[in-house]
A and B are shown apart, each in its own frame.
Chain A
């Protein structure tokens, strides 16, 4: 057995055998392989230990949660908190409310929040795709897409940004770096990338880029810039754009 790589199908067979979920005929074949292949036995041992490592981490977290639930002494201590501390807590709450009131979002920011939904991302292939000419064949691109879909937008943006110097005009990269930046609340970083894709009439991301560009301008209250995006008659976004504009009037 090849010791340097473990194909996903082989890994899942070992996993199923260790978890006891492998069907009987397959299990018998696997156990026959196991009896004659020392490499496979070593691989099974390694995967068993790695699964145990994961479970041990889970056990630690579970026991900590149980101990935290079972802390009446701490609850008692909170109940008996001195009066002065209670006043301090009340003042802190009032201060928090005051700060929130001063920094509350503008009407345009609230409209943005109501209409902004992060791009769901592209499907991720099951196995690592072979290296090819396109940037979306790059395994790093898909790693970043997995991070993006899991909400790790900063990680996704950093991975995609590292690919950009090799393909500086790639619309897929530009669009998804902008999407990650927008999801992080970094609208100003997303702006030039969205503008570049919005100006690229041949891009499949053109209409989506213009929609997010429109939202970025809405967020900053820039009515003139919103009008330049020109999505009013778009079959997908036109109705929403017109409703937002009429709502602001």
Chain B
């Protein structure tokens, strides 16, 4: 969980290697494609990641079972949609059925976070992504981009102020921030 909390690439890769095959097998067995499976796994990873960030996953929780349950429920939702109504779903006996409500709020929050990210330009995504996601320091980012460290610090501040202005706009001025 600590590795996921600090976006450790080795942990992300290990989760993919270990748990994507079961999601892919389930989707392929139920009229889906590899691309469907990849999209579902991405979404399930985002839900797991946000719950870890929020401290909502207990230490020792089984990440694989959680990922599979989220992916399976989302695939069921898609199969129930109009275009897939005629398809038959292979039942899965060994995964306990947990209520999906727990992930609904998380998914709504993910949608809001994605809206904020979509509002950023490419330069801000690059600088902020390196700093907050990859946890690179300012000197490393500056060296990689061939500019001074102070320029990166200024860019980071201005990009975050643009996001702040956007959030304040969608939240209606000084309204409290919706998490």
Contacts and interface: CB of A to CB of B under 8 A. Distances in A.
B160 A61 contact: no
A136 to B, nearest CB: 15
Contacts of A62: 7, 9, 12, 133
Interface stretch (B84-92, B97-105, B147-155): B147-155
A59 B9 contact: no
A46 B116 contact: no
Contact of B133 (A57, A66, A70): A57
A53 B49 CA distance: 12
Given A49-B167, A59-B7, A70-B17, A126 B45 contact: no
B58 interface: no
B80 interface: no
A55 B116 CA distance: 11
A124 B151 contact: yes
A59 B148 contact: no
B7 A50 contact: no
B116 A49 contact: yes
A56 B160 contact: no
Interface of A is mostly: helix
A59 B154 contact: no
Interface stretch (A107-115, A144-152, A165-173, A220-228): A144-152
Contact of B38 (A42, A67, A126): A67
Interface residues of A, number: 41
A51 interface: yes
A143 B168 CA distance: 22
A89 interface: no
A62 B45 CA distance: 11
A3 interface: yes
A203 interface: no
A124 B154 contact: yes
A63 B53 contact: no
A49 B113 contact: yes
A76 to B, nearest CB: 13
A6 interface: yes
Chain B: number of interface residues, binned into ranges: 35 or more
B30 interface: no
Contacts of B95: none
B174 interface: yes
A143 B17 CA distance: 43
B113 A67 contact: no
Interface string A59-86: 1111110110010010000000000000
B94 interface: no
A166 B120 CA distance: 30
Contacts of A57: 114, 117, 120, 125, 129, 133
A3 B174 CA distance: 7
A66 B145 CA distance: 24
B153 A73 contact: no
Contact of A11 (B46, B120, B160): B160
A229 B43 CA distance: 61
A58 interface: yes
A147 B121 CA distance: 12
B179 A45 contact: yes
A146 B157 CA distance: 13
Interface in B1-47: 7, 9, 12-13, 16-17, 20, 34, 38, 41-42, 45-46
B154 A123 contact: no
Contacts of A123: 148, 150
B133 A59 contact: yes
B164 A59 contact: no
Interface string A33-61: 00000000010011101111111111111
A124 B50 CA distance: 36
8 contacts: A49-B167, A52-B113, A56-B113, A59-B7, A60-B46, A64-B42, A143-B158, A147-B123
